[in-house]
A and B are shown apart, each in its own frame.
Chain A
């Protein structure tokens, strides 16, 4: 029996990569999935954190897709290496801090390393020419193939007929006439193909697959870099940007204010590493203070904390402040809306 060719498919959890993998699988190729965890992925976290999101299914879409396809899935932690992509993308950013083209190049490059280590033959992605303004254009398709080092071992089954034949086609591992020629922003061809394959209930991420396409999230990341005077981050930083209300009253510190119970529980895990406060005379949120506040700053932070408590209309609110394990109590007047400029909200 001839040896089955082997492909690894980049599985994001969305429809396109699911279809691309199935197209190749149907041609008798052994397919396994690979999914990269950058720390910015929309998957899981917010659902796990926020109570109001808990009614939504908490499934991990990449795992769900792999199960529908009946393929193995390798989830790879690229948090550290991915920093250079976000911090200094050679091809720049999209509308927000999303470095989509560099990101694609990086991920396909990691997949190329993976196929070499695991003795696989080629890489499959769900890219479609013209689908996304930055990373999926006719002129950027060859850039991804070239700069990732994947060259013609990169097959895009959904738009392959619009591109020169790749190695898997030339070798006869897949039949070119059974691949597709999708292009443009329309989702109709994908939806028709999904119906043909009997796929239902698939995820349709709106903007993209990660938080970096989100305007508010990008603003918070930009603020973090500016406040620290360096473009860098740790995993905890970028996780915390997904949670709570972020307020920066002064350049040297910001407040992360839990908006509900789920966020409080999440922020509690960070109490040891941050100065934190919460109202004691009234019900109110847990607040983490990030930065280097002095005593005057802490007083201001306590007044803001009081504003977000049930004592916002009270004359005084007692706020407990914990710093290096030592707690003190401050009695403060909640700050009024007039004293709180809009720019403080990040």
Chain B
């Protein structure tokens, strides 16, 4: 599992960091990202839904939001 620290970044920067990391990963790999911006609760799952990745787990502990994502297929809906 890979991990990414997106603490103290405000949206959409956490999403951008996740997006840039996922680009370097393979389908099926797992990424754990830790954020502090409450906006990530909406944005990271939304970004995953539209780009075909899966949020396996999300939790909120000590004012930190942790999302565990599984990378989906990049080419799923291309023509």
What 1/0 flags go to B40-79 for Cβ under 8 Å of A?
0111001101111000000000000000000000000111
On chain A, the residues within 8 Å of B46 by CB distance are 59-60, 63-64, 67
CB <8 Å contact, B50 and A73: yes
CB <8 Å contact, B10 and A63: no
On chain B, the residues within 8 Å of A64 by CB distance are 46
On chain B, the residues within 8 Å of A41 by CB distance are 12
A73 to B19, CA, bound (A): 10
Check B25 for interface membership: any CB of A closer than 8 A: no
Min CB distance, A223 to chain B, in Å? 22
CB <8 Å contact, A73 and B47: yes
For residue B47, which residue of chain A has the nearest CB?
A63
CB <8 Å contact, A37 and B49: no
On chain A, the residues within 8 Å of B52 by CB distance are 72
Is chain A's binding surface mostly helix, strand, loop or mixed?
mixed
What 1/0 flags go to B1-30 for Cβ under 8 Å of A?
000000010111101100100000000000
A73 to B10, CA, bound (A): 18
A70 to B49, CA, bound (A): 9
CB <8 Å contact, A4 and B50: no
CB <8 Å contact, B38 and A37: no
On chain B, the residues within 8 Å of A47 by CB distance are 39
CB <8 Å contact, A74 and B19: yes
Min CB distance, B56 to chain A, in Å? 20
A57 to B51, CA, bound (A): 22
A49 to B37, CA, bound (A): 9
A231 to B13, CA, bound (A): 24
CB <8 Å contact, A72 and B12: no
CB <8 Å contact, B37 and A37: no
CB <8 Å contact, B39 and A48: yes
Q: Pick the contact of B10 from A35, A76, A77, A239 — CB < 8 Å?
A: A239
Q: How large is the interface on A (under 10, 10 to 19, 20 to 34, 35 or more residues)?
A: 20 to 34
Known: A59-B46, A66-B50, A67-B50. A75 touches B12 (CB 8 A): yes
A194 to B61, CA, bound (A): 40
Q: Pick the contact of A37 from B13, B47, B50, B79 — CB < 8 Å?
A: B13
A55 to B7, CA, bound (A): 22
CB <8 Å contact, A48 and B79: no
Check A71 for interface membership: any CB of B closer than 8 A: yes
CB <8 Å contact, A59 and B50: no
Known: A30-B78, A37-B12. A75 touches B19 (CB 8 A): yes
Known: A60-B43, A75-B19. A45 touches B51 (CB 8 A): no
For residue B44, which residue of chain A has the nearest CB?
A63
The residue among B10, B13, B42, B78 with the most chain A CB atoms within 10 A of its own CB is: B10
On chain B, the residues within 8 Å of A70 by CB distance are 50
A60 to B46, CA, bound (A): 9
CB <8 Å contact, A44 and B10: yes
CB <8 Å contact, B39 and A75: no
Min CB distance, A119 to chain B, in Å? 10
Min CB distance, B32 to chain A, in Å? 20
Q: Name 27 interchain pairs, CB-CB below 8 A, sorted by A.
A: A3-B79, A37-B12, A37-B16, A41-B12, A44-B10, A44-B11, A44-B43, A45-B11, A47-B39, A48-B10, A48-B37, A48-B39, A49-B10, A58-B38, A58-B39, A58-B42, A59-B42, A60-B11, A60-B15, A60-B43, A62-B12, A63-B15, A67-B49, A75-B16, A75-B19, A77-B16, A239-B10
- Identify the B interface with A (CB < 8 A): 8, 10-13, 15-16, 19, 37-39, 41-43, 46-47, 49-52, 77-79
3 closest cross-chain pairs (CB), A and B: A44-B11, A4-B79, A63-B46
